[in-house]
Amino acid sequence: MDSLCEFDGNSDMYGMGVRIGCYLQWSTSIFAENFYGPAVEPCRDANTTFQVAMLAGLVLSTGSPKENAIALEGYIALLFCFTSVWIASLQVLSVPKTDHTNSLNFSDTKRAMRGVGDMLLNTAICSYGIYLLYVGFDQLRRTTCPETIFFFGPVELFGWFRIFLKVVLIISLVGSATSLSLRILSFFQQLSQFISQWGQSYMPQSPCPPSRVRMVKLSFSKLLGSIVGLGIFIVAIELTIAWNNIRHIYECASFSQLFPLVAGATNLSRVVYQLMKSTLEGTTRIEWSY
């Protein structure tokens, strides 16, 4: 199989615009999770879109052996998917709880359905990652120089780290599949309750008036942990690209790169604006805890 030491990267998959767009979207999710709860659900939708797009690109580029497909690029795309799964797990913890004063709780049904979709996507990512680690990478082109990736320092991808990834992904797949089963059960329970009450005489109660001031209890340790975690993923991606001499992925001159860049920047700007507006209007107050 032909090999090479440096190569032109796939700018449509991880070019500068795509990378910055993803970084901005991940940052937006963390920002909303910690500062502005009302934006968590829209951020989950946007993050899911990025996840699906990156997984589709990963499958398209590595699903069948091609002359130009390179194993290291598959790892970089897989790393993007890992990061999106981690961000999604943080967002799940921040979804506002439903007020159970209503017996007909359609919000819970929608939330259960959304949980099924999230876990299904996570399970698909873990499953395809296992395929790549066991089979797919061996069918793709390798570089002449050892593929060096970041794991709190430079390590070779096709060494002990590959075995470590296999173990991590298998454990993740078991966890995702188990969570998926539980979420499917929860969804059908919620759906059954909703359907059983559909024909009953039902008069929705007037919602309680929301408080004029929304208190944000911001945990410094939680925020710092999220920032550090995101920083580690970004460093891992950028150093992997730099250490392996991947060329032509530091420009942003195509629609496929501009679209995620603009989408990520727009989402972040919107959430920051909403928080600043509500803070200046006095409807949001932030309290710090350590």
One DSSP character per residue, 211-254 reads PSSEEEEEEHHHHHHHHHHHHHHHHHHHHHHHHTTEES-S---S
Residue 200 confidence (pLDDT) above 60? no
CA distances from 35 to 9, 67, 85, 236 (A): 36, 47, 21, 26
Long-range own/partner contacts, residues 95-102 (CB < 8 A, 24 or more apart): 95/40, 95/41, 95/44, 96/37, 96/40, 99/207, 99/208, 101/205, 101/208, 102/204, 102/205
Find where tokens 């989950």 sit.
44
Q: Is residue 112 within 8 Å of 99, Cβ to Cβ?
A: no
- Structural domain span for residue 56: 3-289
pLDDT tens per residue across span 13-48: 888 999 999 999 999 988 888 887 778 888 888 888
Task: Please determine, for residue 84, whether its predicted confidence score (pLDDT) is greater than 80.
Answer: yes
At 110-156, the pLDDT tens digits run 666 777 778 888 889 989 999 999 988 888 888 888 889 999 989 99
Is residue 95 within 8 A of residue 40, CB to CB? The reply is yes
Cα end-to-end span (Å), the chain: 55
Evaluated on CA atoms 119, 125, 128, 133, the torsion sign reads negative
Predicted TM-score (pTM) of the model is 0.82
Strands 284-289, 7-8: pairing kind: unpaired
Strand bridging mode 246-247 / 7-8:
parallel
pLDDT grade for 9, boundaries at 50, 70 and 90: confident
Which of 207 and 218 is assigned the larger pLDDT? Answer: 218
User: Which residues face 289 on adjacent strands?
Assistant: 219
Which helix (H) or strand (E) element contains residue 190?
Answer: helix 160-196
* pLDDT value of position 194: 65
Asked if residue 53 lies in contact with residue 84, where contact means CB atoms within 8 angstroms, the answer is no
Angle between helices 160-196 and 106-134 (to 10 degrees): 160
Nearest to 247, CA basis, from 64, 88, 73, 127:
73
pLDDT band at 100 (very low <50, low <70, confident <90, very high): very low
CA distance 254 to 231: 26
Number of domains in the chain: 1
* Phi-psi region at 254: left, alpha or beta (left = phi > 0; alpha = psi -120 to 50): beta
Per-residue pLDDT, averaged over 57-76, amounts to 79
Tell me the residue ranges of DSSP E strands in 32-168.
142-143, 148-150, 154-156
Give the angle subtended at the CA of 122 by the CAs of 17 and 244, to the nearest 5°.
45
Q: In the structure encoding, which two tokens stand for residue 61, read together?
A: 């580029």
